[in-house]
Chain A
Amino acid sequence: MDYIVQQTLNALSFGAEYALIALGLAIVFSIMNLVNFAHGEVIAIGGYTMMVMATLAFKNPIIIILGAVLAAIIMALFLERIAFRPVRYADATTGLLTAFGVSLILQNLFLLLVSPRPIAVTSMYFLDWPIRLGPIQISSLQIFETLATLIAILLLVLFLKKSLLGIAMRAASLDFEMVRLMGIRANRVIAAAFAISGLLAGIAAIFIIARRGAVDPTLGFNPVLKAFVACVVGGFGSLPGAVLGGFLLGALEVGMLVLLPQSYGGMKDAFVFAIIAIILVWRPEGILSPPKEKGDKI
């Protein structure tokens, strides 16, 4: 029983992390057709901001959290402005290559300017303490991570359903030009998408740092690769798909850890990706692929 609860929580918290990051990728992709691989470096900026603030003797963890999230949002907006806006109307490959380039440049900057090695950041350890529920012991961090993700998703849904800008973002995922023809500035819609992706990256950074206790140049890159897979499985560009894919990937990873015999442990990822390959054979566009049409052109 203990074991099942713990593994379920493991799956949920892994899934939550992937879902958060995948949502950040999906919201930008749905509007701009841009696979933003530099999203990982936005997460890393969150991590480095925590490191810097901790060294500057900021004590209050709430302030550090706010600082990290704010830094991630600003970074996402900054990247849009200097790197992605110039290639906004270029084809998808150009955008993809730009994102890869930005990602590599930033990783190397972290390496040169900070350190190639992990640097300890312990400010987020306060999120993690053992909780006893009768015979079961669980980690508060996993609860926080799952809850924070669910709340973020809920707020995002509210924003997309209720606010004009949110509705415009949904509309833009289908027909951006028509949104501009409603008098809504393209820059505003795109900035909103990047700001949201930055916010989600900042939240992800908090939990990654809380778990790992250290920041290094590839802090965000590997999680973003996983989130990319989650997006593909869920249906690229679909927000519900990103969430579903994230939690599915988390469940698969933990499921493989549990089910595979110890000696196969190193092959966990191979098994996970084999299952994902099968899902993609069944649904090549992903489970919840978004509609593609631009209005009904006769």
Chain B
Amino acid sequence: MTVVPLVLLSLQKTNMLEVKNLSVFYGRIKVVHSIDFSVKKGSCVALLGPNGAGKTSTISSILGTVSSSGSIRFLDKDISKMHTEERVKLGISIAPEGRRVFSNLSVFENLFIGSAIREDRKAADEEINAWLKTFPILDERRDQAAGTLSGGEQQMLTIARALMSRPKILLLDEPSLGLAPRITRQVFELIQDLKAQGMTILLVEQNATEALKLADFSFILNSGNVIASGSSEEILNKGDLMSSLTGVEA
């Protein structure tokens, strides 16, 4: 009675996020079909797949901005019925697809609003300054509307904004979308740094080559189903990778 549950518990503990039997709906249309996946504490998991595969839908269901069924456990708590705001307070944060900086707010205000749930105001303010130091271009534009930033600058701001809440897991939805190769590299370097600091990351990408370099484990989604999963080597060794990424059946 005592030993087995303890073992189970300690096994579970390593999974920060555990998704089972997840389906996502838009109205009556089901776009993700009963998928399972999990993210271990401190790891980087990539969710890959072609356009329309259901990556954004999946990631959105974790924060509850789309309707879904199935179980979503975060830190051993079922969060699938919680409000979005509560899930954020538990330690989930997102840098969403299309970046969605608040273009009418200044760069500083974007970072400030990112720290909305924090009580330690002083530490948060110092962190804002640290981010501004890390990205001098953001510091230069500190009081300018974030809408005037370039795509790459907006992406950095979005990631920094997401981190301002001190999340336990960071969801990144296509951070390299629409960026020049040099900027893309910068973004992936930033993600690499975060990973090195122990951040747990769920990364959605179409740029599979870069994502596989970072990821400890990957899932490939197609038409709302997981069609492959494994470590980066395993995925790379699967010859049908390219075909599944382009949506063509092998």
Contacts and interface: CB of A to CB of B under 8 A. Distances in A.
Contacts of B161: 182
B96 A171 contact: no
A136 B220 CA distance: 80
Contacts of B103: 174, 291, 293, 295-296
Q: Which interface class (under 10, 10 to 19, 20 to 34, 35 or more) fits A?
A: 20 to 34
B79 interface: no
A103 interface: no
Nearest to B151: A296
Contacts of B151: 296, 298
A130 B85 CA distance: 54
A171 B113 CA distance: 9
Given A168-B116, A298-B177, A298-B178, A173 B104 contact: yes
B245 interface: no
Interface string A169-183: 011011101111111
Contacts of A296: 98-101, 103, 147, 151, 154
A170 B104 CA distance: 8
Interface in A225-275: none
B89 A183 contact: yes
Interface string A183-226: 11110000000000000000000000000000000000000000
B117 interface: yes
Contact of A167 (B84, B85, B98, B105): B105
A41 to B, nearest CB: 31
A129 to B, nearest CB: 43
A81 interface: no
Given A164-B113, A171-B105, A298-B178, A186 B100 contact: no
Interface string B65-89: 1000000000000000001110011
Contacts of B105: 167, 170-171
A179 B88 CA distance: 11
Nearest to A177: B65
A59 interface: no
A294 interface: yes
Nearest to A290: B104
10 contacts: A167-B109, A170-B105, A171-B113, A174-B102, A174-B103, A174-B104, A182-B117, A185-B83, A186-B85, A291-B104
Given A167-B113, A174-B103, A177-B65, 9 more contacts: A170-B105, A170-B109, A173-B104, A181-B63, A181-B65, A182-B117, A291-B147, A293-B103, A295-B101
